[in-house]
A and B are shown apart, each in its own frame.
Chain A
Amino acid sequence: MLDFTILTDNFGTYLRGFGNTAYASVLALAGSFLLGTLLAVFRITPVKPLQWIGTAYVEFVRNIPLLLVVYLFFLGLPSIGVVLSPFACGTLGLAVYTAAFIAEAVRAGILSVPKGQMEAARSSGLSYGMTMRLVILPQAVKIVIPPLNNQFINLIKNSSILSVISGFDLMFYADRIASDTYVVFSTYIFAGLFYLLLTLPLSYATGWLERRLARHD
């Protein structure tokens, strides 16, 4: 049933797609982590306008499809004269979309650190920023890591959206192999295995971390 010549004949093509998928995922992870953390801090600062920005961003982006976010970059930017490559549009879209979910995870983590710690640090003379950086965030990280890992797995899976805008990812090359060879079943099974190669280790790491953190509490 499985045609292994598909894998051996097109190994280079699969590998190119695999590399691009991994690259887009890492870039989007870094971007969404930075943006997401910033948004989380926005949402819990005492400054009202920042809270509004953070809340509006998270609520809006969480409730629209990723495809739409990607299209806004792919079709929306050119109508104001900015043309980015499909790969860049896809990666940017992924980062912007995932940031909303990361913001929620980070916010939950920060809120789980008892309020008294913030007050204690502030009264001992640390500024708000320093308290966040030195006291709250390091503790929040521990709680945030498992849900963040889940978001990263989602991000890798979601990166397949690049194929819709010709972003040269794994899914795009799988399409190309399928339409070149007319062998669809095996082509997508192997593509699936390449995705599992990225997601399964992360998935197990998350499970392991969750168990470990649960034990230490």
Chain B
Amino acid sequence: MDFKDAYKWVNLEFILEGFLVTLEVAAAAIALSFLIGCIAGTVRYMKIPVLSQLAAFLVELVRNLPLLLIIFFTMFALPEVGIKFGIVQSAIIALTVFEAAMISEIVRSGLNSIPKGQVEASRSSGLTSFQTLWHIVLPQGLRRMVPPLVSQFISLLKDTSLAVIIALPELMHNANIVIAHNFQTAVPILMFAAFLYFVVNYALSLASRRLENRMA
């Protein structure tokens, strides 16, 4: 193990560059998957005909497939039928599709956890179903969704590492390049990569716990 060679500034800088790509891709995918997940989850909660069934089918399909397969599929298979994306887009789209399915389930069960009696009460007092959702169900449901949502975002950040297979220049990709230059740096470099992931993800999970305590 060659700690001295591994922790040269050029190497660390190169890996940090990769980490920036990781964070950017993760941020884009988090925003998009949250949006789509909320829509799909609400559609299923409100049992909007046809759309609800369609969402259920897609969510079940995606939830039961490996992310690696979805990334491959987006990058290599879709071009065969005329749908073409670049590397960064493929990574963001695949992550979004995969995580949106998970998030829609979190949103749905969060909304469902609000007792039906409340919904009936507010409906009979003259609120529309949209108003009921917006003013009664969502504020309470959101509180319960925060912890699973944050842990899903942490998963997403970790899952960006799978985009190494399509040569996205993210953290693990750059770590591999450094390791290839000198195999003795493998363990120190992997430790540094683990440290970066850990710091960000652990901070996220602490923030989520604090938020949860404040809301409770």
Contacts and interface: CB of A to CB of B under 8 A. Distances in A.
Q: A and B from one assembly?
A: yes
Interface of A: 1, 59-60, 62-68, 71-72, 75-76, 78-79, 153, 156-161, 163-164, 171, 174-175, 178, 183-185, 187-189, 191-192, 195-196, 199-200, 203
A6 to B, nearest CB: 12
Nearest to A63: B201
A201 to B, nearest CB: 10
Contact of B64 (A59, A163, A175, A199): A199
A203 B69 contact: no
A64 B197 contact: yes
B136 interface: no
A180 B81 CA distance: 19
Nearest to B81: A185
A171 B190 contact: no
Given A72-B190, A185-B81, A203-B60, 8 more contacts: A63-B198, A63-B201, A67-B161, A68-B194, A76-B187, A79-B187, A161-B162, A200-B60
B178 to A, nearest CB: 12
Contacts of A191: 69
| Size bracket, chain B contacts | 35 or more
**Which secondary structure characterizes the binding site on chain B?**
helix
Interface of B: 1, 60-61, 63-69, 72-73, 76-81, 154, 158-162, 164-165, 172, 179, 183-184, 186-187, 190, 193-194, 197-198, 201-202, 205
A72 B189 CA distance: 10
Nearest to B197: A64
Contacts of B81: 1, 185
B76 A188 contact: yes
A64 B69 contact: no
Given A157-B67, A184-B77, A188-B76, A68 B193 contact: yes
Contacts of A178: 76
B202 A67 contact: no
Given A68-B193, A157-B66, A188-B76, A76 B186 contact: yes
A60 B194 CA distance: 9
19 contacts: A63-B198, A64-B158, A65-B159, A67-B162, A68-B190, A71-B172, A75-B186, A79-B183, A158-B66, A160-B66, A160-B68, A164-B164, A183-B80, A184-B77, A188-B72, A189-B77, A191-B69, A192-B65, A195-B65
A93 to B, nearest CB: 12
A185 to B, nearest CB: 4
| Shortest beta-carbon contacts, A-B, top 6 | A63-B201, A160-B66, A199-B64, A65-B158, A65-B161, A157-B66
Contacts of A164: 68, 164-165
B23 to A, nearest CB: 14
Nearest to B2: A79
Contacts of B60: 200, 203
